[in-house]
């Protein structure tokens, strides 16, 4: 659809012309089965698929109150953010004759966050779907997993009310430093790992790449907060200082 095209091009603005020239761009509306079928009919064998899709009307599905009478919006959010994984996986499977990996992106669904509302529900459903698909596709040597990342400053995040507050809260509870901008690379590296050959025995899992925040109860105490520099760099600086004193 034109809406999806605009979203896609929006997100590719940081690509150089050389990078764009090396890629093949195809578009489809994941809520229309024939479009998904046609998309995969144009490809050759596939080793891996990244399902990075999510949408919920911020006016009805996000915000102060969980309740909304806009049931069509709720169904649309579920279809795009969760059920589409089953559709995409179904048609991708036909191209994975030698096995492969399907990875989707989630966000901490075991607890409730303010304002996230129906997207939180959809992420919980998405992780349940990952487990079901992993069980079904295992016989085909296709593994299915989710990456649950910490908050990242993406275009989608701009639709989440008070996202900046969530990002600040994350820094108070994450044992490892968490950067909503620069840690996009760390999440991407984890996706590459899950798509690659070194994760061949991992399936049906939700892998947390969030600085450890999901395993911490309450905010970090002052003595627990991440150092501004790594211990290794700190030690190296001390060593250099000692040498100068001897001189």
The mean of the pLDDT values for the chain is: 88
pLDDT of residue 203: 99
Residue 9 — very low, low, confident or very high, per pLDDT cuts 50/70/90? very low
**179, 232, 242, 246 from 235: Cα distances, Å:** 23, 5, 11, 17
140/133 Cα distance (integer angstroms): 11
Determine whether 5 is an active site residue. Answer: no
The candidate with the shortest Cα–Cα distance to 78, out of 42, 45, 26, 117, is 117
Active-site residue flag, 115: no
Give the model's pLDDT for residue 231. Answer: 59
pLDDT tens digits along 107-146: 999 999 999 999 999 999 999 999 999 999 999 999 999 9
> Catalytic residue among 95, 116, 155, 172, which?
116
pLDDT of residue 5: 38
Do residues 211 and 150 make contact, with C-beta atoms less than 8 angstroms apart?
A: yes
Burial class (CB in 10 A: 0-12, 13-18, 19+), 202: middle
The residue behind tokens 């996986």 is: 89
Residues of the chain with pLDDT > 70: what percent?
86
pTM as predicted: 0.84
Catalytic, out of 59, 67, 95, 123: 123
pLDDT at 20 over 80: no
Calculate mean pLDDT across residues 17-40.
87
Distance, C-alpha 145 to centroid of its chain: 11
| Mean local confidence (pLDDT), 3-9 | 38
**What is the model's pLDDT at position 13?**
57
- In tens, the pLDDT along 60-117 reads 999 999 999 999 999 999 999 999 999 999 999 999 999 999 999 999 999 999 999 9
Q: pLDDT for 218-247, tens place per residue?
A: 889 999 998 876 656 555 555 555 555 554
Integer Cα distance of 108 and 208 in angstroms: 8
Lowest mean pLDDT among 14-23, 29-38, 55-64: 14-23
For residue 46, what pLDDT is reported?
Answer: 94
Could you tell me the domains of the chain? 2-242 (3.40.50.720)
């Amino acid at each position: 659809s034109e809406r999806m095209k605009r979203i896609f091009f929006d997100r590719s603005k940081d690509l150089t012309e050389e990078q764009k020239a090396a890629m093949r761009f195809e578009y489809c509306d994941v809520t229309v089965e024939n479009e998904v079928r046609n998309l995969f009919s144009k490809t050759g064998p596939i080793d891996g698929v990244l399902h990075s899709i999510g949408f919920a009307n911020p006016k009805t599905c996000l915000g102060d109150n969980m309740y909304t009478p806009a049931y069509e919006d709720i169904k649309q959010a579920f279809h795009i953010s969760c059920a589409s994984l089953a559709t995409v996986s179904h048609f991708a499977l036909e191209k994975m004759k030698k096995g492969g990996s399907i990875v989707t992106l989630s966000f901490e669904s075991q607890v409730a966050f303010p304002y996230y509302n129906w997207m939180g529900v959809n992420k919980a459903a998405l992780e349940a779907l990952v487990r079901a698909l992993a069980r079904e596709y295992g016989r085909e040597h296709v593994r299915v997993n989710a990456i649950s990342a910490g908050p990242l400053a993406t275009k989608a995040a701009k639709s989440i009310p008070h996202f900046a507050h969530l990002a600040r809260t994350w820094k108070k509870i994450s044992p490892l430093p968490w950067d909503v901008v620069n840690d996009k690379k760390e999440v991407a590296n984890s996706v590459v790992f899950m798509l690659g050959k070194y994760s061949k025995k991992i399936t049906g899992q939700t892998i947390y790449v969030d600085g450890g925040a999901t395993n911490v109860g309450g905010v970090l105490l002052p003595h627990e907060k991440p150092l501004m520099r790594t211990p290794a760099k700190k030690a190296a600086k001390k060593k250099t200082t000692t040498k100068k004193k001897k001189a």
